[in-house]
Amino acid sequence: MNVLVEILKYILPALLVLLAVYVPVGYFLRQERWHRTRADAGERKKEWIQISLQASERLMLFLERINPEHLVVRLAGDYSDSLSLQQALLQSIRDEYEHNLVQQLYVSDAAWQAITDARNQVVQLINEAARQTDRQAPSPELAAMILQAWMQVKVDPIAFAIKTVKNDVREMMGAVQGK
């Protein structure tokens, strides 16, 4: 019995000290893990916002590049006939679109739909102007027809798509500020 009491004299205080250290250290480690998880989530959110902003910038550039006023001016002087110019314009739009296709991951469905609609309307406008122009006509004739048709568009699809992308960015920034 004396041996059991002697062993308990040493073991019981050691267990109490171990328990007294284990509880606060465990609490501290759980708190640290929670803070680290929150910090990591904040960093991921920052990265997502940065990527989304870059995607929005690229899509705005895409919209400006397919705007007939810019597109025709950029390409018209390089081609001698209407058919060549039409093909070059459509190829340029197709290349730009394919280059920016993945950006749809970072914008709202409404913004992507507006961008796609704008692209489709510009393609349709170019094709319609080309139908009204002789294929062998000089390229400036098609360029003039495209620009004239563009000026008659009642609702500018490029401006609408740009506005939609800007609204997306504003909503994203509002969500960030509101946290």
pLDDT in 10s for each residue of the chain, 179 residues? 788 777 877 888 888 888 888 888 788 878 888 888 787 777 888 888 899 999 999 999 999 999 999 999 998 888 889 999 999 999 999 999 999 999 999 999 999 999 999 999 999 999 999 999 999 999 999 999 999 999 999 999 999 999 999 999 999 888 777 65
Q: If you ran DSSP here, which 8-state letter would residue 132 be given?
A: T
**Total domains in the fold of the chain:** 1
Amino acid occupying residue 94: R
In a domain? residue 99: yes
In a domain? residue 118: yes
Structure tokens at 73: 């001016």
Which domain CATH number covers 64?
1.20.120
In a domain? residue 155: yes
Q: Are 103 and 59 in contact (CB under 8 A)?
A: yes
Q: Are 116 and 99 in contact (CB under 8 A)?
A: no
In a domain? residue 22: no
In a domain? residue 62: yes
Closest CA to 63 of 173, 164, 178: 164
In a domain? residue 81: yes
**pTM score of the predicted model:** 0.76
Neighbour tally for 96: CB within 10 Å: 18
Q: Which domain holds residue 91?
A: 51-178
Angle value at C-alpha 103, between 101 and 106, nearest 5 degrees: 145
* C-alpha pair distances (Å), 137 with each of 17, 37, 80: 95, 65, 8
In a domain? residue 11: no
In a domain? residue 12: no
